[in-house]
């Protein structure tokens, strides 16, 4: 029997911003439960909840202070169990964000660890002595600016943190840490959870010799908050020991039925595709993985082809997860605006393109509305990198503003209280209640998802790309005896293609086919019946 996650559509919910039911301005589990019918009606198969565990919220829940407690901002364990039960009634699976590479500095483990160098948890985090001149132990960078090391005067040592100084990295070289983390995961599996989204899955282990990273081989694209691109990050992450831990985690999940793990590979470029392959190879590691390869500014046929082909060649028995937006990047409708005829045109085309890719597909809340980032002023920000480096860095708040349900309701129906991030008119215009008609972006997503599920060729893994020049991305898909040919115009200028055999257009499209000429307007696309050769006219 084919596993449920193989062709699944996973809908990411950012709990703080989905629905607030208690009026405090922050979304909660009861609000998510009330709005789950929206996800089910969309045609998704699973929800991914960004962190809901106890946290001081310095990095919006990605700084966990208790892995086995629900943060009261979101509700209780009973609320969570009720949410899982309701999701299952609607035919939806539930996975949660597990932030296992680091904790909050408020976690009881770290409070004990930093007390002195002799306590039982003294080696549960990555501690190191200063260099003779007092500087950090090596040259590793933090993603949020400055060195990846914070000096602790109590121990007289530095501790490692890849993100905020209040997010110390766990020491996975300590077997007791591994055992403790596995126990926390087992706790939630016993609650009926269907799997995990593993945050920064390639960050668990570090080089135990703390060797310096060498400089990057290519000219880096340096941003104010992130100097990672100036180094080859070979010692601070993606260490070979990671695979051993993933196998332990897989062994745990295999004790339960129908569990899935998807790992976030924190890497850009071709290396990310290679890591995805390594981490999903065989049946003893992750079920699937995704990277930031399609979450950046690159928008070309060659780029998308290299991502999909690179994974297929590097991990022929692995399984990919593709998405265009999430809570860490600018929403793709705005991110790729320079290639768009209009917001609506790029939203429709990218929806179809994503649904035609092989593997599992991810949608970020609001994507199905054609949502764009919210423009914020400094006083409205909450994201640590933006607060530190404004105005050079806009941060991630713009893609995290609340879901919009009713255009004319208070805060677009998200909350009766003051939202933690503002709801502004450009976003409210795209509210769910404004998209009930058959021509809306929301209806488009429903139709395209239904088409994907009804088209056997799109559920398979066989994908062969056609050698066409930019801006045309074209590939053939095959599955259960059906063949289709998919073609996308990634530019704003009309392109005409010659089709080698008589055919017809299937499903949602933005194209015309007259005899052997397929015309794709700017951001046009079509799915053709059968295996067809295409040439640019």
Q: What's the CA gap between 224 and 154, in Å, rounded? A: 31
List helix spans (H) across 157-300.
175-189, 241-253, 270-280
- Active-site residue identified among 79, 105, 267, 367: 267
- Active-site residue identified among 150, 199, 226, 368: 199
Q: How far is CA 114 from the centre of its chain?
A: 32
**By the 8 A CB rule, do 331 and 371 touch?**
yes
Would you call 328 a catalytic residue per the annotation? no
- CB atoms closer than 10 angstroms to residue 58: 18
Q: What's the CA gap between 288 and 321, in Å, rounded? A: 6
Virtual CA dihedral for 402, 406, 409, 413, nearest 10 degrees? -40
Q: How far is CA 390 from the centre of its chain?
A: 24
- Residue 433: phi, psi to the nearest 5? -70, -10
Would you call 133 a catalytic residue per the annotation? no
Q: What's the CA gap between 194 and 209, in Å, rounded? A: 37
Q: What's the CA gap between 451 and 445, in Å, rounded? A: 10
Q: What's the CA gap between 207 and 147, in Å, rounded? A: 16
Structure tokens at 163: 């993100």
- Residue 217: phi, psi to the nearest 5? -75, -25
**By the 8 A CB rule, do 104 and 48 touch?**
no
Q: Which residues have a catalytic role annotated?
A: 199, 267
């Amino acid at each position: 029997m084919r596993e449920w996650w193989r062709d699944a559509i996973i809908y990411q919910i950012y709990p703080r911003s989905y629905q607030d039911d208690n009026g405090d301005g922050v979304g909660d589990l009861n609000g998510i439960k009330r709005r789950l019918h929206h996800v089910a009606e969309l045609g998704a198969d699973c929800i991914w909840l960004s962190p809901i565990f106890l946290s001081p919220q310095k990095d919006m829940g990605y700084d966990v202070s208790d892995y086995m407690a629900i943060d009261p901002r979101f509700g209780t364990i009973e609320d969570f169990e009720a949410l899982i039960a309701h999701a299952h009634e609607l035919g939806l699976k539930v996975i949660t964000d597990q932030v296992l590479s680091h904790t909050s500095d408020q976690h009881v483990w770290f409070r004990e660890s930093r007390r002195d160098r002799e306590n039982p948890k003294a080696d549960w985090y990555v501690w190191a002595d200063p260099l003779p001149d007092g500087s950090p132990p090596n040259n590793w960078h933090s993603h949020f600016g400055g060195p990846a090391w914070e000096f602790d005067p109590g121990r007289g040592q530095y501790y490692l943190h890849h993100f905020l100084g209040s997010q110390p990295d766990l020491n996975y070289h300590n077997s007791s840490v591994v055992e403790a983390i596995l126990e926390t995961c087992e706790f939630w599996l016993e609650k009926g959870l269907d799997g995990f989204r593993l945050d920064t899955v390639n960050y668990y282990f570090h080089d135990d010799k703390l060797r310096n990273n060498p400089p990057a081989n290519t000219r880096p694209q340096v941003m104010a908050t992130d100097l990672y691109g100036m180094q080859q990050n070979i010692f601070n992450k993606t260490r070979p020991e990671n695979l051993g831990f993933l196998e332990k985690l897989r062994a745990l999940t295999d004790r339960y039925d129908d569990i899935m793990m998807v790992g976030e590979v924190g890497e850009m470029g071709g290396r990310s595709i290679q890591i995805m392959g390594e981490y999903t190879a065989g049946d003893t590691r992750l079920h699937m993985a995704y990277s930031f390869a399609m979450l950046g500014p690159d928008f070309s046929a060659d780029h998308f082809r290299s991502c999909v082909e690179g994974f297929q060649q590097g991990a022929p028995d692995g399984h990919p997860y593709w998405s265009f937006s999430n809570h860490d990047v600018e929403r793709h409708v705005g991110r790729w605006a320079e290639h768009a005829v209009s917001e609506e045109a790029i939203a429709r085309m990218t929806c179809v393109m994503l649904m035609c890719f092989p593997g599992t597909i991810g949608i970020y809340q609001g994507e199905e509305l054609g949502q764009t980032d919210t423009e914020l002023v400094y006083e409205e920000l909450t994201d640590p990198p933006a607060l530190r480096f404004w105005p050079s860095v806009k941060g991630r708040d713009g893609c995290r503003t609340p879901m919009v349900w009713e255009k004319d309701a208070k805060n677009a129906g998200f909350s009766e209280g003051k939202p933690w991030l503002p709801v502004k008119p450009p976003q409210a215009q795209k509210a769910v209640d404004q998209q009930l008609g058959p021509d809306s972006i929301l209806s488009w997503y429903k139709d395209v998802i239904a088409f994907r599920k009804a088209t056997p060729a799109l559920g398979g893994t066989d994908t062969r790309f056609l050698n066409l020049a930019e801006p045309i991305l074209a590939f053939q898909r095959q599955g259960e005896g059906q063949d289709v040919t998919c073609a996308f115009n990634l530019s704003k200028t009309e392109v005409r293609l010659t089709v080698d055999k008589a055919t017809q257009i299937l499903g949602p499209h933005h194209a015309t086919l007259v005899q052997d000429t397929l015309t794709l307007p700017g951001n046009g696309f079509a799915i053709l019946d059968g295996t067809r050769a295409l040439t640019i006219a």
